[in-house]
Amino acid sequence: MSSIVFDAGPIISLTLNNLLHILPELKLRYNGDFYITREVYRELIEQPLGTKKYKFEAMQILPYIASGTLKIVEHDGVKAVAAGLEHSANRAFSAERNHIRIVHPADMEVVAAALHLSSEAVVFDERTTRTLIEDPIALKNHLARKLHTDVIMDEDKVKDISKQIGHLKVIRSFELVALAFELGFLDKFIAPGEEIYVTGLKSKLLEGALWSIKLSGCSVSQEEIEETLSLLGDKLL
Amino acid sequence: MQMNHKIRADILSILRDAIRVLEEKDSYSLRQLSDHSIHNASIFQDSHSISIAVVIYALSKIIDRMARIEPQVIEALKWAKDKLEQNDIPGYEAELTSLVRLISDFDSRMGKYTHQVISEARIKKGSRIYEHGISLAQTAKLLGTTQWELMRYIGQTTIADGFNDKPSMRQRLDFTRGLFR
Protein backbone atom coordinates (compact mmCIF):
# COMPACT_ATOMS: atom_id res chain seq x y z
CA MET A 1 0.00 0.00 0.00
CA SER A 2 1.34 3.44 -0.94
CA SER A 3 1.69 6.00 1.80
CA ILE A 4 2.63 9.57 2.66
CA VAL A 5 3.83 10.53 6.15
CA PHE A 6 3.05 13.98 7.58
CA ASP A 7 5.03 16.01 10.08
CA ALA A 8 3.04 18.25 12.46
CA GLY A 9 3.88 21.47 10.59
CA PRO A 10 1.84 20.85 7.41
CA ILE A 11 -1.23 19.87 9.43
CA ILE A 12 -0.82 23.02 11.54
CA SER A 13 -0.56 25.13 8.36
CA LEU A 14 -3.71 23.58 6.90
CA THR A 15 -5.61 23.96 10.18
CA LEU A 16 -4.69 27.61 10.64
CA ASN A 17 -6.01 28.28 7.12
CA ASN A 18 -9.25 26.31 7.28
CA LEU A 19 -7.90 23.94 4.63
CA LEU A 20 -8.00 20.58 6.41
CA HIS A 21 -10.87 19.56 4.13
CA ILE A 22 -8.42 19.07 1.25
CA LEU A 23 -6.92 16.04 3.03
CA PRO A 24 -9.82 13.59 2.48
CA GLU A 25 -10.28 14.97 -1.02
CA LEU A 26 -6.62 14.42 -1.84
CA LYS A 27 -6.71 11.01 -0.21
CA LEU A 28 -9.58 9.95 -2.46
CA ARG A 29 -7.32 10.60 -5.44
CA TYR A 30 -4.32 8.96 -3.81
CA ASN A 31 -4.07 5.25 -3.96
CA GLY A 32 -2.82 4.84 -0.40
CA ASP A 33 -2.79 6.07 3.19
CA PHE A 34 -1.80 9.24 5.00
CA TYR A 35 0.11 8.72 8.25
CA ILE A 36 1.27 10.68 11.26
CA THR A 37 3.51 9.44 14.06
CA ARG A 38 2.62 9.20 17.74
CA GLU A 39 4.80 12.25 18.49
CA VAL A 40 3.06 14.27 15.79
CA TYR A 41 -0.29 13.24 17.30
CA ARG A 42 0.98 14.52 20.65
CA GLU A 43 1.92 17.91 19.15
CA LEU A 44 -1.32 18.22 17.16
CA ILE A 45 -3.83 16.93 19.70
CA GLU A 46 -2.62 16.11 23.20
CA GLN A 47 -0.47 19.17 23.81
CA PRO A 48 -3.00 21.81 22.64
CA LEU A 49 -5.87 20.07 24.45
CA GLY A 50 -3.99 20.76 27.67
CA THR A 51 -3.87 24.52 27.05
CA LYS A 52 -6.23 27.43 26.35
CA LYS A 53 -4.58 28.25 23.04
CA TYR A 54 -5.04 25.97 20.03
CA LYS A 55 -7.49 23.67 21.81
CA PHE A 56 -10.15 24.52 19.23
CA GLU A 57 -7.66 23.85 16.42
CA ALA A 58 -6.87 20.43 17.91
CA MET A 59 -10.60 19.67 17.96
CA GLN A 60 -10.71 20.46 14.24
CA ILE A 61 -7.94 17.97 13.48
CA LEU A 62 -9.27 15.13 15.63
CA PRO A 63 -12.10 14.12 13.24
CA TYR A 64 -9.58 13.53 10.47
CA ILE A 65 -7.76 11.09 12.73
CA ALA A 66 -10.93 9.44 14.02
CA SER A 67 -12.17 8.94 10.46
CA GLY A 68 -8.88 7.40 9.33
CA THR A 69 -7.91 10.16 6.91
CA LEU A 70 -4.78 10.41 9.03
CA LYS A 71 -3.64 7.12 10.50
CA ILE A 72 -1.15 6.79 13.32
CA VAL A 73 1.95 4.69 12.66
CA GLU A 74 2.33 2.15 15.43
CA HIS A 75 5.50 0.12 15.10
CA ASP A 76 8.22 -0.43 17.67
CA GLY A 77 10.91 -0.53 14.99
CA VAL A 78 10.23 3.08 13.99
CA LYS A 79 11.53 4.47 17.28
CA ALA A 80 14.74 2.43 17.05
CA VAL A 81 15.45 3.60 13.49
CA ALA A 82 14.58 7.17 14.50
CA ALA A 83 17.03 7.01 17.39
CA GLY A 84 19.82 5.94 15.04
CA LEU A 85 19.01 8.70 12.55
CA GLU A 86 18.82 11.30 15.30
CA HIS A 87 22.16 10.19 16.68
CA SER A 88 23.82 10.61 13.27
CA ALA A 89 22.06 13.86 12.34
CA ASN A 90 22.89 15.50 15.65
CA ARG A 91 26.56 14.61 15.26
CA ALA A 92 26.89 15.55 11.60
CA PHE A 93 27.62 19.24 12.16
CA SER A 94 29.73 20.85 14.84
CA ALA A 95 30.90 24.31 15.82
CA GLU A 96 33.14 25.49 18.60
CA ARG A 97 34.00 21.85 19.31
CA ASN A 98 30.38 21.05 20.03
CA HIS A 99 27.94 18.89 18.08
CA ILE A 100 24.95 20.95 16.99
CA ARG A 101 21.64 19.27 17.77
CA ILE A 102 19.82 20.24 14.60
CA VAL A 103 16.85 17.86 14.87
CA HIS A 104 14.42 16.53 17.48
CA PRO A 105 13.58 12.82 17.88
CA ALA A 106 10.07 13.63 16.58
CA ASP A 107 11.53 14.85 13.25
CA MET A 108 13.42 11.62 12.80
CA GLU A 109 10.38 9.56 13.76
CA VAL A 110 8.56 11.00 10.74
CA VAL A 111 11.50 10.07 8.54
CA ALA A 112 11.84 6.63 10.13
CA ALA A 113 8.12 5.98 9.65
CA ALA A 114 8.46 6.85 5.96
CA LEU A 115 11.37 4.42 5.67
CA HIS A 116 9.45 1.71 7.50
CA LEU A 117 6.39 2.15 5.27
CA SER A 118 8.48 2.67 2.10
CA SER A 119 6.45 5.84 1.68
CA GLU A 120 6.29 7.77 -1.55
CA ALA A 121 6.76 11.09 0.23
CA VAL A 122 7.12 12.87 3.54
CA VAL A 123 5.43 16.22 4.17
CA PHE A 124 7.53 18.77 6.06
CA ASP A 125 6.87 22.50 6.26
CA GLU A 126 9.90 23.22 8.42
CA ARG A 127 13.09 23.59 6.47
CA THR A 128 15.83 22.01 8.59
CA THR A 129 14.72 18.38 8.24
CA ARG A 130 13.71 18.97 4.63
CA THR A 131 17.15 20.39 3.81
CA LEU A 132 18.90 17.58 5.70
CA ILE A 133 17.14 15.16 3.37
CA GLU A 134 17.48 17.15 0.15
CA ASP A 135 20.73 19.05 0.42
CA PRO A 136 22.83 18.65 3.60
CA ILE A 137 25.63 20.82 2.16
CA ALA A 138 23.17 23.73 1.92
CA LEU A 139 22.29 23.13 5.58
CA LYS A 140 25.96 23.22 6.57
CA ASN A 141 26.49 26.47 4.64
CA HIS A 142 23.41 28.01 6.22
CA LEU A 143 24.53 27.07 9.74
CA ALA A 144 27.98 28.58 9.13
CA ARG A 145 26.52 31.78 7.67
CA LYS A 146 24.04 32.29 10.50
CA LEU A 147 26.31 31.25 13.36
CA HIS A 148 29.20 33.39 12.02
CA THR A 149 31.62 30.60 12.74
CA ASP A 150 33.22 27.61 11.09
CA VAL A 151 30.89 24.65 10.95
CA ILE A 152 32.57 21.30 10.52
CA MET A 153 30.62 18.66 8.67
CA ASP A 154 31.35 15.02 9.43
CA GLU A 155 31.33 13.78 5.85
CA ASP A 156 31.04 10.11 6.82
CA LYS A 157 27.99 10.82 8.97
CA VAL A 158 26.37 12.94 6.25
CA LYS A 159 27.06 10.26 3.64
CA ASP A 160 25.52 7.69 5.95
CA ILE A 161 22.44 9.84 6.55
CA SER A 162 22.05 10.59 2.84
CA LYS A 163 22.37 6.89 2.05
CA GLN A 164 19.52 6.15 4.43
CA ILE A 165 17.18 9.06 3.78
CA GLY A 166 18.43 10.96 0.71
CA HIS A 167 16.05 9.08 -1.58
CA LEU A 168 12.96 10.32 0.29
CA LYS A 169 10.82 12.82 -1.57
CA VAL A 170 9.74 15.84 0.47
CA ILE A 171 6.68 17.93 -0.22
CA ARG A 172 5.13 20.77 1.77
CA SER A 173 1.60 21.85 2.56
CA PHE A 174 2.34 24.50 -0.07
CA GLU A 175 2.44 21.95 -2.91
CA LEU A 176 -0.64 20.19 -1.52
CA VAL A 177 -2.60 23.44 -1.54
CA ALA A 178 -1.40 24.33 -5.05
CA LEU A 179 -2.53 20.92 -6.27
CA ALA A 180 -5.81 21.16 -4.38
CA PHE A 181 -6.45 24.40 -6.23
CA GLU A 182 -5.58 22.77 -9.54
CA LEU A 183 -8.00 19.92 -8.80
CA GLY A 184 -10.81 22.33 -7.89
CA PHE A 185 -10.86 21.50 -4.17
CA LEU A 186 -10.70 25.19 -3.27
CA ASP A 187 -13.64 26.14 -5.50
CA LYS A 188 -15.92 26.01 -2.44
CA PHE A 189 -14.39 29.34 -1.45
CA ILE A 190 -15.99 30.98 -4.49
CA ALA A 191 -19.78 31.34 -4.51
CA PRO A 192 -21.91 32.07 -7.60
CA GLY A 193 -22.33 35.78 -8.13
CA GLU A 194 -19.09 36.87 -6.45
CA GLU A 195 -17.60 37.93 -9.77
CA ILE A 196 -20.00 40.88 -9.78
CA TYR A 197 -18.08 42.27 -6.83
CA VAL A 198 -14.52 41.12 -7.48
CA THR A 199 -12.76 40.34 -10.74
CA GLY A 200 -10.12 37.62 -11.16
CA LEU A 201 -11.55 35.52 -8.35
CA LYS A 202 -9.57 32.37 -9.15
CA SER A 203 -6.30 34.23 -9.33
CA LYS A 204 -7.01 35.94 -6.01
CA LEU A 205 -8.05 32.64 -4.43
CA LEU A 206 -4.82 30.90 -5.44
CA GLU A 207 -2.59 33.80 -4.46
CA GLY A 208 -4.42 34.18 -1.16
CA ALA A 209 -4.20 30.49 -0.31
CA LEU A 210 -0.50 30.23 -1.16
CA TRP A 211 0.41 33.34 0.82
CA SER A 212 -1.68 32.19 3.77
CA ILE A 213 0.23 28.93 3.87
CA LYS A 214 3.52 30.85 3.86
CA LEU A 215 2.28 33.25 6.52
CA SER A 216 1.41 30.28 8.71
CA GLY A 217 5.04 29.22 8.80
CA CYS A 218 5.54 26.94 5.80
CA SER A 219 9.10 27.30 4.57
CA VAL A 220 8.57 28.73 1.10
CA SER A 221 10.02 31.82 -0.54
CA GLN A 222 8.25 34.69 -2.24
CA GLU A 223 9.99 33.64 -5.48
CA GLU A 224 8.49 30.14 -5.18
CA ILE A 225 5.03 31.63 -4.69
CA GLU A 226 5.46 33.81 -7.78
CA GLU A 227 6.77 30.87 -9.80
CA THR A 228 3.83 28.73 -8.71
CA LEU A 229 1.36 31.45 -9.69
CA SER A 230 3.05 31.58 -13.08
CA LEU A 231 3.13 27.77 -13.48
CA LEU A 232 -0.57 27.47 -12.62
CA GLY A 233 -1.50 30.47 -14.74
CA ASP A 234 -3.56 28.47 -17.23
CA LYS A 235 -5.76 27.23 -14.39
CA LEU A 236 -6.75 30.77 -13.49
CA LEU A 237 -8.98 31.35 -16.50
CA MET B 1 26.69 22.38 38.89
CA GLN B 2 28.82 23.34 35.89
CA MET B 3 28.61 26.04 33.24
CA ASN B 4 30.71 26.11 30.08
CA HIS B 5 33.48 28.73 30.48
CA LYS B 6 32.59 30.55 27.25
CA ILE B 7 28.89 30.63 28.08
CA ARG B 8 29.61 31.98 31.56
CA ALA B 9 31.86 34.73 30.18
CA ASP B 10 29.24 35.71 27.57
CA ILE B 11 26.39 35.78 30.10
CA LEU B 12 28.46 37.90 32.50
CA SER B 13 29.17 40.35 29.70
CA ILE B 14 25.46 40.46 28.81
CA LEU B 15 24.44 41.02 32.45
CA ARG B 16 26.93 43.88 32.94
CA ASP B 17 25.71 45.61 29.78
CA ALA B 18 22.05 44.86 30.55
CA ILE B 19 22.25 46.53 33.98
CA ARG B 20 23.70 49.65 32.35
CA VAL B 21 21.19 49.87 29.48
CA LEU B 22 18.27 49.05 31.77
CA GLU B 23 19.12 52.08 33.86
CA GLU B 24 19.09 54.09 30.61
CA LYS B 25 15.75 52.46 29.64
CA ASP B 26 17.25 51.55 26.27
CA SER B 27 15.02 48.73 25.00
CA TYR B 28 16.71 48.52 21.58
CA SER B 29 20.12 47.82 23.11
CA LEU B 30 18.54 45.24 25.42
CA ARG B 31 17.15 43.38 22.41
CA GLN B 32 20.58 43.43 20.80
CA LEU B 33 22.07 41.97 23.98
CA SER B 34 19.44 39.27 23.96
CA ASP B 35 20.39 38.37 20.39
CA HIS B 36 24.01 37.90 21.44
CA SER B 37 23.17 34.84 23.47
CA ILE B 38 21.22 33.26 20.57
CA HIS B 39 24.53 32.31 18.98
CA ASN B 40 25.47 30.21 22.02
CA ALA B 41 21.89 29.03 22.45
CA SER B 42 21.91 27.62 18.91
CA ILE B 43 25.27 25.89 19.20
CA PHE B 44 25.27 24.68 22.81
CA GLN B 45 21.49 24.59 23.36
CA ASP B 46 22.08 25.08 27.06
CA SER B 47 19.37 26.32 29.40
CA HIS B 48 21.51 29.23 30.62
CA SER B 49 21.99 30.86 27.21
CA ILE B 50 18.34 30.35 26.40
CA SER B 51 16.97 31.69 29.69
CA ILE B 52 19.14 34.83 29.66
CA ALA B 53 18.07 35.54 26.05
CA VAL B 54 14.40 35.19 27.04
CA VAL B 55 14.66 37.27 30.23
CA ILE B 56 16.58 40.15 28.62
CA TYR B 57 14.18 40.24 25.67
CA ALA B 58 11.18 40.22 28.04
CA LEU B 59 12.68 43.16 29.95
CA SER B 60 13.05 45.10 26.70
CA LYS B 61 9.33 44.57 26.03
CA ILE B 62 8.42 45.76 29.52
CA ILE B 63 10.37 48.96 28.93
CA ASP B 64 8.54 49.39 25.61
CA ARG B 65 5.18 49.03 27.34
CA MET B 66 5.79 50.78 30.65
CA ALA B 67 8.65 53.20 29.80
CA ARG B 68 10.07 52.31 33.21
CA ILE B 69 11.50 49.37 35.06
CA GLU B 70 11.00 48.56 38.71
CA PRO B 71 14.11 48.86 40.94
CA GLN B 72 13.85 45.28 42.17
CA VAL B 73 14.38 44.04 38.60
CA ILE B 74 17.73 45.82 38.37
CA GLU B 75 18.59 44.55 41.86
CA ALA B 76 17.81 40.98 40.80
CA LEU B 77 20.02 41.35 37.72
CA LYS B 78 22.86 42.66 39.89
CA TRP B 79 22.44 39.70 42.25
CA ALA B 80 22.46 37.31 39.30
CA LYS B 81 25.69 38.89 38.00
CA ASP B 82 27.32 38.68 41.45
CA LYS B 83 26.40 35.01 41.83
CA LEU B 84 27.77 34.20 38.40
CA GLU B 85 31.00 36.11 39.11
CA GLN B 86 31.37 33.92 42.21
CA ASN B 87 30.73 30.89 40.01
CA ASP B 88 27.69 30.12 42.19
CA ILE B 89 25.60 28.56 39.41
CA PRO B 90 22.65 27.41 41.60
CA GLY B 91 22.54 30.91 43.12
CA TYR B 92 22.58 32.47 39.65
CA GLU B 93 19.76 30.19 38.50
CA ALA B 94 17.70 31.11 41.58
CA GLU B 95 18.13 34.81 40.82
CA LEU B 96 17.07 34.30 37.21
CA THR B 97 14.02 32.36 38.38
CA SER B 98 13.09 35.25 40.65
CA LEU B 99 13.45 37.61 37.68
CA VAL B 100 11.04 35.47 35.65
CA ARG B 101 8.63 35.62 38.62
CA LEU B 102 8.88 39.41 38.74
CA ILE B 103 8.15 39.62 35.01
CA SER B 104 5.22 37.21 35.37
CA ASP B 105 3.87 39.31 38.27
CA PHE B 106 4.01 42.29 35.96
CA ASP B 107 1.91 40.37 33.44
CA SER B 108 -0.68 39.36 36.01
CA ARG B 109 -0.95 42.98 37.16
CA MET B 110 -1.68 43.86 33.55
CA GLY B 111 -4.63 41.46 33.74
CA LYS B 112 -3.47 39.01 31.09
CA TYR B 113 -4.80 35.48 30.91
CA THR B 114 -1.39 34.08 30.05
CA HIS B 115 2.19 34.97 30.96
CA GLN B 116 2.38 37.04 27.83
CA VAL B 117 5.73 38.82 28.04
CA ILE B 118 7.67 35.66 28.83
CA SER B 119 5.79 33.55 26.28
CA GLU B 120 6.27 36.23 23.62
CA ALA B 121 9.96 36.33 24.44
CA ARG B 122 10.19 32.54 24.13
CA ILE B 123 8.54 32.63 20.71
CA LYS B 124 10.72 35.50 19.51
CA LYS B 125 13.94 33.83 20.67
CA GLY B 126 12.75 30.50 19.31
CA SER B 127 12.24 32.05 15.90
CA ARG B 128 15.88 33.21 15.94
CA ILE B 129 17.15 29.75 16.85
CA TYR B 130 15.05 28.24 14.04
CA GLU B 131 16.47 30.91 11.74
CA HIS B 132 19.95 29.66 12.60
CA GLY B 133 19.10 26.19 11.24
CA ILE B 134 17.72 24.22 14.17
CA SER B 135 14.54 22.27 13.41
CA LEU B 136 11.18 23.62 14.51
CA ALA B 137 10.46 20.70 16.86
CA GLN B 138 13.90 20.95 18.48
CA THR B 139 13.49 24.72 18.86
CA ALA B 140 10.04 24.31 20.43
CA LYS B 141 11.47 21.84 22.92
CA LEU B 142 14.40 24.12 23.82
CA LEU B 143 12.16 27.11 24.43
CA GLY B 144 9.36 25.24 26.14
CA THR B 145 6.87 26.43 23.56
CA THR B 146 4.89 24.72 20.78
CA GLN B 147 5.25 24.37 17.03
CA TRP B 148 1.84 26.08 16.76
CA GLU B 149 3.17 29.23 18.39
CA LEU B 150 6.44 29.20 16.51
CA MET B 151 4.93 28.60 13.08
CA ARG B 152 2.42 31.39 13.47
CA TYR B 153 5.16 33.85 14.43
CA ILE B 154 7.76 32.66 11.93
CA GLY B 155 5.26 32.90 9.09
CA GLN B 156 5.01 36.65 9.58
CA THR B 157 8.75 37.05 9.01
CA THR B 158 11.22 36.25 6.24
CA ILE B 159 12.69 33.55 8.50
CA ALA B 160 10.50 30.90 6.88
CA ASP B 161 12.03 31.38 3.44
CA GLY B 162 13.86 28.24 2.35
CA PHE B 163 17.62 28.09 1.86
CA ASN B 164 17.91 25.34 -0.72
CA ASP B 165 16.55 25.59 -4.23
CA LYS B 166 16.67 21.98 -5.27
CA PRO B 167 14.52 20.46 -6.46
CA SER B 168 13.02 23.36 -8.40
CA MET B 169 9.46 24.55 -7.87
CA ARG B 170 8.42 23.01 -11.17
CA GLN B 171 9.90 19.64 -10.14
CA ARG B 172 8.16 19.81 -6.76
CA LEU B 173 4.80 20.51 -8.37
CA ASP B 174 5.27 17.82 -11.01
CA PHE B 175 6.17 15.28 -8.35
CA THR B 176 3.12 16.21 -6.25
CA ARG B 177 0.85 15.97 -9.30
CA GLY B 178 2.26 12.50 -9.94
CA LEU B 179 1.26 11.37 -6.45
CA PHE B 180 -2.38 12.33 -6.98
CA ARG B 181 -2.81 11.46 -10.64
- What ipTM, to 2 d.p.? 0.95
Phi, psi of B83 (to 5 degrees): -65, -40
Q: Is the pLDDT of residue B164 over 90?
A: no
3-state helix, strand and coil shares in percent for chain B, rounded to the nearest 5: 75, 0, 25
Residues of A in contact with B152 (CB under 8 A): 16, 216-217
Residue of chain B whose alpha carbon sits nearest to that of A140: B133
CB A7 within 8 Å of CB B138: no
Q: What is the mean pLDDT of residues A82-91?
A: 96
Q: Give me the total of CB pairs closer than 8 Å, taking one residue from chain A and one from chain B.
A: 168
pLDDT at residue B115 in the model: 57
The shortest C-alpha distance from A193 to chain B (Å) reads: 31
CA distances from B62 to B29, B105, B115 (A): 14, 12, 13
The shortest C-alpha distance from A136 to chain B (Å) reads: 9
Q: Is the pLDDT of residue B15 over 60?
A: yes
Mutate which of B145, B164, B175 to test chain A, going by most A C-beta atoms within 10 A? B164
Residue A2 bridge partners (DSSP): A32
Strand extents, DSSP E, B24-172? none
Q: Is the pLDDT of residue B168 over 70?
A: yes
Query: Do β-strands A170-171 and A98-99 pair in parallel, antiparallel, or remain unpaired?
Result: unpaired
- CB spacing of A214 vs B42 below 8 angstroms: no
The string of pLDDT tens digits covering residues A195-225 is 889 889 999 999 999 999 999 999 999 999 9
The string of pLDDT tens digits covering residues A166-201 is 999 999 999 999 999 999 999 999 998 988 898 899
Q: What is the mean pLDDT of residues A1-23?
A: 97
- CB spacing of B134 vs A128 below 8 angstroms: yes
- CB spacing of A179 vs B177 below 8 angstroms: yes
For chain A, what is the mean pLDDT?
95
| Confidence band for B111, pLDDT divided at 50, 70 and 90 | low
- In this prediction, what percent of chain B has a pLDDT beyond 90? 65
- In this prediction, what percent of chain A has a pLDDT beyond 70? 99
pLDDT at residue B114 in the model: 46
For chain B, what is the mean pLDDT?
89
Residue of chain A whose alpha carbon sits nearest to that of B7: A96
pLDDT at residue B4 in the model: 87
Residues of A in contact with B39 (CB under 8 A): 147-149
| Confidence band for A112, pLDDT divided at 50, 70 and 90 | very high
Q: Is the pLDDT of residue A75 over 80?
A: yes
Does the pTM exceed 0.90?
A: yes
Dihedral (C-alpha) B41, B43, B47, B51: value to the nearest 10 degrees? Answer: 0
pLDDT at residue B159 in the model: 83
- Specify burial of residue B78 (Cβ count, 10 A radius: 0-12, 13-18, 19+): middle
The span from the CA of A22 to the CA of A18, in Å, is: 9
Please report the domains of chain A, with CATH numbers, ordered by start residue: 1-171 (3.40.50.1010), 190-235 (no CATH)
Nearest to A71 by CA among A95, A45, A37, A109: A37
The shortest C-alpha distance from A198 to chain B (Å) reads: 26
Q: Is A136 on the interface with B (CB under 8 A)?
A: no
Nearest to A232 by CA among A189, A193, A180: A180
